[in-house]
Amino acid sequence: MDFLIFQVPMLTLQAVLDGLLLGILFALIAYGMALQWGVMNIINIAQGDLVILGGYIAYFMYLYGIHPAWGVIVSPIIMYFVGVIIYKLVINKVVDRDLFISILATFGISILFMQLMNFAFGADVVLANSGYGTTMLFDNSVTLPNSKIFSAFISVVFAIGLVIYMKKSKLGRAIRATAQNARAAKILGVDTEKVYAATFGINAALCGVAGALISITFTIHPYMGLPYTIRSFMIVIVAGLGNLPGVAMSGMGLGVFEEFADYILGTEFRIGSVFLLLVLILVYRRFKLSRKREYLK
Amino acid sequence: MKIKNIIITFVSAIAILFTTSVVSLAKVVGDKIILGAAISLTGKYSSNGVHTQNGYNMAVDRINDMGGIKVGGKTYKFDIIYYDDESNPKRAAQLAERLISQDGVEFMLGPYSSGLTKAIAPVTEKYGVPMVEANGASRSLFTKGYKYLFAVLAPANLYLDVAIETAVELNGGKGVRIAQAFEQDAFSQDVRLGILDAAERTGSKIIIDDKLPKELNDMAATLAKVKAVKPDVLVVSGHTKGALTAIRQIAEMKVDVPMLAMTHCDAAKLSKQHGKNSQYALCASQWHKTLTYKDDFFKDGMTYAADFEKLFGYDPPYQSAESSAALLVFKDAFERANSFDQKKVRDALADTNMQTFYGNIKFAEGGQNVDKPMVLFQVMCDDAGKCENKVVAPLKWASAELIHPIPKWSER
């Protein structure tokens, strides 16, 4: 245990700001998960691997001399089609089965993606340099890398864009209708098959944006996907499905929680503390659910 | 119909069993000495696994082309059976078992990484198979009393030892304040033990002692603490991702520290990925091409590097150089033993005392090489932004003078 963070107020501020910026990025990934979970009732274990794949797209642009920030435009476009292809090949075969089958299927996709990325891009840890510099506050005692600020800003832009799209566009309305009642939507003429494919594509596109941002802010590696899956799963569990403000709040909360766990318990417990929190929340949620169920009896 | 199927299955199963058990290769077939190796060709260690394999292959070709190995008046050539261990220790142990009991291999080369070497060593030890390994530096490998394990590289606890001693020396012999962050794996933790020893010996104080997780990609918290407490030396070891993450975030957060010492800068190609931001980082390395060791096969480091680049198209990292050296050690031992008896070869290996382009090789009781110091290089960049690794310690091989303390970010 290390309580340096409480002795130096600037460290506390640094942790909170770092956590918030990181949390917004997590929230973007989680929003994609919440969307497809709500619409298709599929928990996508391969979420993190889609993120990493998106990161590699930005990285390759960087390798070929294009600024990696363009990755936030290119990566989602490519990833949308990757998502649709995965849906057509695998997900539409399991979408009407129980949740367990879908978890197994996406778990398989996750392993396949990891190995394929390793095969295609190699096992080296890579990153894309944005060259964005640093914002310094309070006489250089709090530093915020501009790449993190950029990431948070882009995440917010995409989240708002998506909300508007879901409200105003025809496809957005169809997706929401399918989420509420797929059978009714189908009877009323919504092509649910198309809606499912588009939903999976949109989720993959969001992962693509997040991946591009991660390659600019952190590092990417074929086997680094799982922590992102776990984080987004956890954010969705806390926020509930179809609750965007909830996802944003719980994303930022998780970001700050992680930073504090890092300072107090040590970096080695950072991911561990997320897992612990997940278990606690699942136990608590179940407890709440079972109480509800008793009431229904 | 059903019975016919059963019969066919049964017969083919017997046939497969028969062929695999009969076609086992002996240790020496005709004029070939067959060595076995499990290498990470896929999985997370695959890039370093390939460096290892390239090093082995280059040495095999070179030794064979230059006359091979003379044992009992006859000339033999090396050949290696490779299996892919998928970067998985369990798989590596299985493959070692298979190489020895099915393929009949009687001499082994090591895999990549301390973890996998640790998995294989008990197997080779059980069968009394001499193994020369070039990529397992963890101290725990050399304290188990293994008799058949020989490592051409210096043990992990010596990696950054030199950095602390240099820092103390520059501080007028007084102890320094050290901040350190190490990944939680066998290798990095051994490097950490080395630092703890060095700190105790020199009267230095450890003021931050962070452990990094395997899935590390953010060490902002550690660096923020470093900024707050201002140590004299910052030590980071967390394989490639540790080195890359540290440099990126130190530059972004403008962390000023007089000395920054790391491992795995070579594999991380620090200056290529980070350019000038990586400047002044001190890196521990087993080998550097500018060292002036010599042998008859590869001449010296510079020639080795040039030949390697011609063959594989990239500058050899130390992982390749040490792997090549392992073959030179085997050749030397076979010739001195003048026999293929495992016991005799083992004893000859234990008596090894030679110089290779990679460094002097002499094994201690535990199997580690005690005759080759680590080198430290510093990343130095010119005004145009072109960066190079220059050896700064030990002084005997230094091609540049250590820049200390590192200039502050505001002055760069």
User: How many whole angstroms separate alpha carbon A139 and alpha carbon B309?
Assistant: 48
Q: Kind and range of the H or E element at A238?
A: helix A226-239
Q: How many residues does chain B have?
A: 412
pLDDT single digits (tens) B59-117: 999 999 999 999 988 899 999 999 999 888 999 999 999 999 999 999 999 999 888 99
Determine, for residues B252 and A22 on separate chains, whether the beta-carbon distance falls below 8 Å.
no
Task: Find where tokens 């290696």 sit.
Answer: B80
Q: What does residue B61 show for φ and ψ, rounded to 5 degrees? A: -60, -45
Residues of chain A found within 8 Å of residue B225, distances taken between Cβ atoms: 2, 4, 11, 263
Q: Decide if B241 touches A, using CB distance below 8 A.
A: yes
Strands B299-300 and B294-295: antiparallel
Is B385 an interface residue toward A (CB < 8 Å)?
A: no
B314 and B263, same structural domain? no
- Residue, of B7 and B388, whose pLDDT is higher: B388
pLDDT score recorded for residue B186 = 80
* CB-CB under 8 Å, B212 with A219: no
Whether A134 contacts B254, CB under 8 Å: yes
| Segment (H or E) for B377 | strand B375-381
Q: Domain total for chain A? A: 1
Residue B123 domain flag:
yes
Has residue B137 been placed in a domain? yes
| Nearest chain B Cα distance for residue A11, angstroms | 7
Specify the CATH number for the domain of residue B91: 3.40.50.2300
Question: Which candidate in A127, A267, A271 is best for mutational testing of the B interface (most B CBs within 10 A)?
Answer: A267
**Minimum distance, in Å, between the CA of residue A133 and any CA atom of chain B:** 6
Q: Of B43, B213, B240, which has the smallest distance from its Cβ to A267's Cβ? A: B213
- Tell me what pLDDT residue A296 has: 40
pTM comes to 0.79
Percent of chain A at pLDDT > 90 equals 32
Distant-in-sequence, close-in-space partners of B234: CB < 8 Å, separation ≥ 6: B178, B179, B180, B181, B226, B255, B257, B259, B260, B261
Q: What is the pLDDT of residue B12?
A: 66
Q: In this structure, what DSSP letter does residue B290 have?
A: T
The values of phi and psi at residue B377, to 5°, are -120, 160
In Å, how far is B273's CA from the nearest CA of chain A? 8
CB contact under 8 A, B240 and A125: yes
Integer Cα distance of A282 and A269 in angstroms: 19
Q: Is A134 on the interface with B (CB under 8 A)?
A: yes
Task: Give the one of B228, B239, B273 whose C-beta lies nearest to A127's C-beta.
Answer: B273
SS3 B1: coil
Q: Are B127 and B133 in contact (CB under 8 A)?
A: no
Q: A135 in contact with B at a CB cutoff of 8 Å? A: no
Domains held by chain B: number: 2
Instruction: Determine the average pLDDT of the residues in B374-390.
Output: 85
Residue of A111, A144, A218, A274 to mutate when probing chain B, most B C-beta within 10 A: A218
Same domain, B318 and B340: yes
Chain B contact for A276 (CB, 8 A cutoff): no
Q: What is the mean pLDDT of chain B?
A: 87
Average pLDDT of B190-200? 90
Q: What count of other Cβ atoms lies within 10 Å of the Cβ of residue B58? A: 22
CB A211 within 8 A of CB A146: no
CA dist A268 and B254 (Å) reads 23
Cis peptide before B258 (omega within 30 of 0): no
Q: Does B215 touch chain A (CB under 8 A)?
A: yes
pLDDT in tens, A204-247: 999 999 999 999 998 898 888 888 998 888 888 888 776 778 88
Residue B22: the pLDDT is 43
Residue A99 scores a pLDDT above 70: yes
**Among candidate residues A197, A109, A249, A267, the one with its CA nearest the CA of residue B223:** A267
A96 three-state secondary structure:
coil
Res B349 pLDDT > 80: yes
Hey, is the C-beta of B344 within 8 angstroms of any chain A C-beta? no
Whether B295 and B252 map to the same domain: the answer is no
- Pairing of the two strands B107-109 and B32-39: parallel
CA atoms within 13 A on the CB side of A7: 8
Q: Which residue has the higher pLDDT, B21 or B38?
A: B38
Chain B contact for A119 (CB, 8 A cutoff): yes
Whether residues B144 and B258 fall in one domain: no
- Check residue B11 and give its pLDDT: 65
* Residue A35, pLDDT above cutoff 70: yes
For chain B, percent of residues with pLDDT exceeding 70: 93
Calculate how close chain A gets to B345, using CA atoms only, in Å: 36
Residues B61 and B79 in one domain: yes
Instruction: Give contacts of A8 with chain B, Cβ < 8 Å.
Output: 228
The pLDDT of residue B23 is above 90: no
User: Is residue B208 located within the same domain as residue B279?
Assistant: yes
Question: A263 to chain B nearest CA, in Å?
Answer: 6
Does B303 contact A at CB distance below 8 Å?
no
3-state secondary structure B270-285: HHHHHHHHHCCCEEEE
Cα within 13 Å of Cα(B88), Cβ side: 10
CATH of residue A116's domain is 1.10.3470
Query: Whole-angstrom Cα distance, residue B97 to residue B36?
Result: 11
> Which residue has better confidence, A95 or A205?
A205
Distance from CA of A193 to the nearest CA of B (A): 36
Summarised one tens digit per residue, pLDDT across range B128-142 is 999 999 998 888 889
Residue A17, domain extent: 4-296
In this predicted structure, the answer to whether residue A290 has a pLDDT above a threshold of 70 is no
Q: Do B254 and A134 touch (CB under 8 A)?
A: yes
**pLDDT of B213 over the 90 cut:** no
Report if residue B1 sits inside a domain. Answer: no
Which pLDDT band, with edges at 50, 70 and 90, does B118 fall under? very high
One domain for residues B257 and B400: yes
Q: Both B381 and B334 in a single domain?
A: no
Interface residue of A20, A124, A144 to substitute, partner B, most B CBs within 10 Å: A124
Q: How confident is the model at residue A4 (pLDDT cuts 50, 70, 90)?
A: confident
User: B248 vs A4: CB contact, 8 Å cut-off?
Assistant: no
Q: How far lies B22's CA from each of A73, A134, B16, B18, in Å?
A: 59, 66, 10, 6
- The answer to whether A124 faces chain B, any CB pair under 8 Å, is yes
* Residue-number span of the structural domain to which B144 is assigned: 23-154+291-362
Which chain B residues contact residue A51 at CB under 8 A? Answer: none
8 Å CB contact of A267 and B219: yes
Determine phi and psi for A284, rounding to 5 degrees: -65, -45
- pLDDT at position B311 is 93
The two structure tokens encoding residue A139:
């006489």
- CB of B369 closer than 8 Å to CB of B388: no
Residues B312 and B356 in one domain: yes
Taking CB atoms and an 8 Å limit, are B241 and A129 in contact across chains? Answer: no
Measured CA to CA, the distance from residue B319 to residue B287 in angstroms comes to 9
Q: H/E/C letters for each residue in B110-131?
A: CCCCHHHHHHHHHHHHHHCCCE
Does B17 reside within a domain? no
pLDDT digits (tens, 9 = 90+) for B37-59: 999 988 778 888 999 999 999 99
Tell me: do B238 and B144 sit in the same domain: no
Confidence of residue B312 (pLDDT cuts 50, 70, 90): very high
The contacts of residue A265 (CB under 8 Å, 6+ apart) are A1, A2, A273
Exposure class string for B268-282: b at 16+ Cβ within 10 A, else e:
bbbbebbbbbbbbbb
B174 and B260 belong to one structural domain? yes
Q: What is the pLDDT of residue B21?
A: 45
d(Cα B108, Cα B192) in Å, to the nearest integer?
30
* CB of B358 closer than 8 Å to CB of B143: no
Are both B221 and B199 inside the same structural domain? yes
Q: Which value does ipTM take for this structure?
A: 0.79
